């Protein structure tokens, strides 16, 4: 693929994206490329975290957190009641 893609956006969305790109000192193409990259990254991160969470061993986590030699959390790390 040559990297060229045609996308049809509503005029209001195109106008807003062009304005923000211009204010940021970039082109609309670069703005859209960055937006797509950010969206892909967010979606991949969510899938990665869900997959990792699915492999979690809750019992092992509880044993670790409740170990007798563990220190209590620092005051700034405690949950507020």
Where do we find the tokens 């700034």?
Answer: 76
- pLDDT band (50, 70, 90) for residue 2: low
Q: Give the pTM.
A: 0.59
Model pLDDT for residues 47-80, shown as the tens digit of each residue: 889 899 899 999 998 988 888 887 888 889 888 8
- pLDDT band (50, 70, 90) for residue 3: confident
Model pLDDT for residues 12-47, shown as the tens digit of each residue: 999 999 999 999 999 999 999 999 999 999 999 988
């Amino acid at each position: 693929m040559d990297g060229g893609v045609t996308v049809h956006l509503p005029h209001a969305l195109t106008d807003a994206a062009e304005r923000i790109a211009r204010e940021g000192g970039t082109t609309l193409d670069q703005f859209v490329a960055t937006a797509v990259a950010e969206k892909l990254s967010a979606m991949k991160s969510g899938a990665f975290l869900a997959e990792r969470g699915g492999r979690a061993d809750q019992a092992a986590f509880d044993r670790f957190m409740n170990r007798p030699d563990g220190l209590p959390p620092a005051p700034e790390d405690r949950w507020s009641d």
